[in-house]
Amino acid sequence: MRPKIDHDKCIGCGNCQEVCPAVFHLNEEIGKAEVIDPEGCELADCCEAAAENCPVEAITIEED
Ligand code: SF4
């Protein structure tokens, strides 16, 4: 599973970082979230929850 963030959609709310800090980080300089560990979804069981909690559906999880 590979998480991707659509920066055109991201509004920088920080929900993904709150739900899944091992994988997502809010870059406050640009006001957008970033994936800090693309492999992290294999270990952290929170990527799908982060995607569900994104208010603008900017997170997609690609299956390998
Ligand atoms: S939850 Fe969605 S809108 Fe909010 S920071 Fe994360 S990717 Fe951006």
CATH code at position 31? 3.30.70.20
Tell me the CA–centroid distance for residue 42 and ligand 1, in Å: 20
Predicted pLDDT at 34? 98
Strand partners of residue 33:
26
Q: Cα(16)–Cα(51) distance, rounded to whole angstroms?
A: 7
- How many secondary structure helices (H) and strands (E) does the chain include? 2, 4
Predicted pLDDT at 43? 85
Q: How many domains does the chain have?
A: 1
Cα 33 from chain centroid (whole Å) = 7
Domain span holding position 13: 2-62
Q: Cα(25)–Cα(52) distance, rounded to whole angstroms?
A: 16
pLDDT digits 0-9 by tens, 9-37? 999 999 999 999 999 999 999 999 999 99
Tell me the CA–centroid distance for residue 15 and ligand 1, in Å: 6
Predicted pLDDT at 25? 98
- pTM metric for this prediction: 0.94
Task: Report the mean per-residue pLDDT for the chain.
Answer: 95
- Residue 6 predicted with pLDDT over 80: yes
> Which residue minimizes the CA distance to atom 3 of ligand 1?
10
